[in-house]
Amino acid sequence: MPKFDLPSFLQNIQKYRVTNTFIVPPVALALAKHPMVLDYDLTSLRHLACGAAPLPKDLCQRIEERLGVYCRQGFGMTEASPLVACLRPDARGPDGSVGPLVAGLKAKIIDPETGRELGVGQAGEWLLKGPNVMRGYLNNVEATKITIREDGWMHTGDIVYVDEHGNWFVVDRLKELIKYKGFQIPAAELEALLVTHSKVLDAAVIPAYDASQATEIPRAYVVIQEGVVQNDELKKEIMEFLAARVAPHKKLRGGVVFTKEIPKSASGKILRKDIVKIDRASDSPAEVKAHL
């Protein structure tokens, strides 16, 4: 496939009886929710592996319910040469987990504000150390100092937590946390919940600014399923749906904006800065046009 498109992807799996494939979150979302998927025979699939961005556990479960295939995740970064955590092909971990650390790698979680080391089940910044971690960025001393501190630990900029069995879960990027009145809200957490709504096809959450309170507030841009009427009642329904599933400070105080597409990179990551730029350029948020 010279360029990805969903019909060709599904047709190729059916035609060539594909057993293993690597996907990114937008494709995983389509496999879980797009009605077109049901028009193809995908029973040859045995293994799905997803990377590039966190995949919510609810989405993993929906894929398995729909296709009968377990979707594995892993985590890697160029600075770690590149694999950090993954499951073996024959192994199964908790839904939403990227698996255990690769051999030889050390990790810890710290509070990004205080530097205090955190324990099992506590979310904080992921720090790594090991033979596969880079020595630094070529010809960029300042960037190296920011990423790799004097104690030798590399700061990934990712918010994660680990369970008692050593399975790691990626929550969000540190720089993409929405800061509301002293609380830190992971945008990815809200997005993961929004896409479980039956009328929502895709979603992105950004920090809108409330000048009256001098704070950021979460605002959701959502793509609605085809044929569903888009109106204020639906916006209210989506806001109440999320409010019933999160702590009070995580509510969509910035409201809901309907859009045709969520802009994403070729690797499937939400281009949040593009949405924020358009959102802040207008007093009344307009539709976002996606472009890869």
**Residue 144, domain extent:** 104-166
- Within a 10 A sphere around the Cβ of 106, how many other Cβ atoms? 12
Q: Which of residues 100, 128, 150 is at a domain's end?
A: 100
- 109 and 60 both lie in a single domain: no
The CATH number for 139's domain is: 2.30.38.10
Helix (H, G, I), strand (E, B) or coil at 51: coil
> What pTM does this model have?
0.84
Q: Do 7 and 71 belong together in one domain?
A: yes
| Backbone dihedral angles phi then psi of residue 92, each to the nearest 5 degrees | -135, 130
State the pairing for strand pair 124-129/106-110.
antiparallel
* Residue 86 to residue 50: CA distance in whole angstroms: 11
At 181, the amino acid letter reads: K
The reply to whether 16 and 87 lie within a common domain is yes
**DSSP summary character for residue 227:** T
CATH number, domain with residue 254: 3.30.300.30
Q: What is the pLDDT of residues 85-114, one digit of tens each?
A: 999 888 899 999 999 999 999 999 999 999
Instruction: List the CATH number of the domain containing 5.
Output: 3.40.50.980
Q: Based on the fold, state whether residues 128 and 198 are members of the same structural domain.
A: no
Q: Which residue has the higher pLDDT, 73 or 290?
A: 73
The reply to whether 290 falls in a domain is no
Q: How far is CA 172 from CA 8, 73, 96, 267, in A?
A: 31, 15, 13, 16
Query: Do residue 66 and residue 112 come from a single domain?
Result: no
CA 113-221-69 angle, to 5 degrees, is 85
Q: 10 Å Cβ neighbour count for 246?
A: 15
Measured CA to CA, the distance from residue 79 to residue 98 in angstroms comes to 17
The whole-angstrom distance between residue 240's C-alpha and the CA centroid of its chain comes to 22
Q: How many structural domains does the chain have?
A: 3
On whether both 226 and 276 belong to a single domain, the answer is: yes
> Does 94 fall in a domain?
yes
- From 116, 148, 166, the end of a domain falls on 166
**Quick one: 178 and 158 in the same domain?**
no
DSSP 162-192: E-TTS-EEEEEEGGGEEEETTEEEEHHHHHH
Task: Determine the average pLDDT of the residues in 168-174.
Answer: 95
Instruction: State whether 178 and 276 are in the same domain.
Output: yes
Of 100, 132, 151, the last residue of a domain is 100
Smallest CA-to-CA distance from 274 within 257, 253, 291 is with 291
Residue at 292 is within a domain = no
Give a yes or no: residue 288 inside a domain: no
- Are 210 and 264 in the same domain? yes
Rounded to the nearest integer, the mean pLDDT of the chain is 93
Polymer length of the chain: 292
Residue 76 and residue 18 share a domain: yes
CB distance 109 to 117 below 8 Å = yes
Q: What is the pLDDT confidence band of residue 283, given thresholds at 50, 70 and 90?
A: low
Write out pLDDT tens, residues 203-260: 999 999 999 999 999 999 999 999 999 999 999 999 999 999 999 999 999 999 999 9
Asked if the model's pLDDT at residue 281 lies above 90, the reply is no
- The residues facing 148 across adjacent strands are 154
